[in-house]
Chain A
Amino acid sequence: MCDHCLKHGTAGKWYLNAKFYSDELAEELDLKEFLLEQYKTFEAMQVRKFGGFSAVGMGYKRQMPIIGRIVKHTAEKMLHSKKPSRNPFKAEGHIGQVVPLDDAIAILETCIPENSLIMKYCMCRYMHKGEKEACCINFGIMSEIIDKLPRFIPEPEDSKFRLTKEEAIEKFTEFNKKGYIGTIWYGAYPYINNLCACQTPMCAGFRPRTEFGIKSIFKAEYVVENNPNNCQGCKRCITMCQFGAIEFDDKTKRAVIDQSKCYGCGNCLLVCRFEALNLVTRKEIPALAGDY
């Protein structure tokens, strides 16, 4: 592990700090048993009731005048919780953030504890689509936990279970090129153990936010900006965006970005052949500064 990161962090990006990924932190928070208990029935999290509410029928619950607001408040309070006392059946402190490719590579290169990288089947794709796709990169104590739960371990023809740093970076780059969104997840706050390659609508992390207005995931530290002089109107970026943030302007024959909808995953950059798109730091744009 990088000593520099442990002591100082790196400038600007809060998640490029090995402290959040360290086994010491997981031990300090006593997360081994908690995470094992949580992942044993992870798929059932959305149907369990807490305080009288489960996520079942969330759309209709959110439409109700007062109850809708209570549900949002309760769900956000639970997801954003920073308290150490936890119930493994709740998604307490399980909050994520979008990370673009370069930052994900930096995380994999500098922050992850040695020899702890694993690949597991994505739970969201399995529980909502019945598809087994190995595309979740886990690390730290998660490697010991998933080891005990056979349904998450990929078949040899799908993927290797244990990955080297280089393999993980290669796989993750591949996912980004497919249009999957890189996200990191606390499990639970402030320990980070997941680098997912997400897809809407089945991602259980994105859905509460995109469909029900519950902040279950934060936007990236970046936002995409386009350079209309370079744009040739090929529309490749539009097909890549999962949030409908890019539209085609018929008058100018160029792509236009709605920055308020942009999550900053940077996948559109990967398909642009004319260098018309850039990632800029969200903080630097006054209108978007606090919009995570």
Chain B
Amino acid sequence: MGKIKIKIDYSICGDGNKIDPRDCTICLKICEPAIFLLHPSLKFQKEDDPYDPKIWRVTPVYPSLCTLCMKCVEQCPENAIRIRN
């Protein structure tokens, strides 16, 4: 089996764009092996509030644990997740 690749479109979700992942968190909650990580975006660390960062993004950190249930792809309200096997 090939490597599973999970891509999130950051031009829609996170990095201060249309959706703040902290308000949504659907993909995080729905993922049974909890492979996603919600974290302050390192790209904007310099301009962000260091004590209370406002710019966050979701990274799929452990794609190897993905069960390919596709729930995140189906449930993402902005269709921002793509999974390739």
Contact = CB atoms under 8 A, between A and B. Distances in A.
Q: How large is the interface on A (under 10, 10 to 19, 20 to 34, 35 or more residues)?
A: 20 to 34
Interface in A145-167: 148-151
A58 interface: yes
Contacts of A201: 32-34, 65
Nearest to A36: B51
A47 B51 contact: no
Contacts of B28: 128-130
Interface in A57-79: 57-60, 63
B84 interface: no
Given A43-B37, A128-B34, A59 B51 contact: no
A180 to B, nearest CB: 15
B61 A58 contact: yes
Interface residues of B, number: 25
B52 A149 contact: yes
Contacts of B42: 41, 44, 47-48
Interface in A123-149: 126-131, 148-149
B45 to A, nearest CB: 7
B53 interface: yes
B16 interface: no
B38 A47 contact: no
A46 B37 contact: yes
B53 A130 contact: no
B34 A129 contact: yes
Interface string A249-292: 00000000000000000000000000000000000000000000
Given A47-B42, A56-B61, A40 B34 contact: no
Interface of B: 3, 22, 25, 28-29, 32-34, 36-40, 42, 45, 50-53, 59, 61-65
14 contacts: A40-B51, A41-B39, A41-B40, A41-B42, A43-B38, A44-B39, A47-B37, A48-B42, A57-B61, A57-B62, A57-B63, A60-B64, A150-B51, A211-B62
Top 10 A-B pairs, shortest CB-CB distance: A59-B64, A130-B25, A130-B28, A43-B39, A44-B39, A128-B34, A202-B34, A127-B38, A201-B34, A56-B61
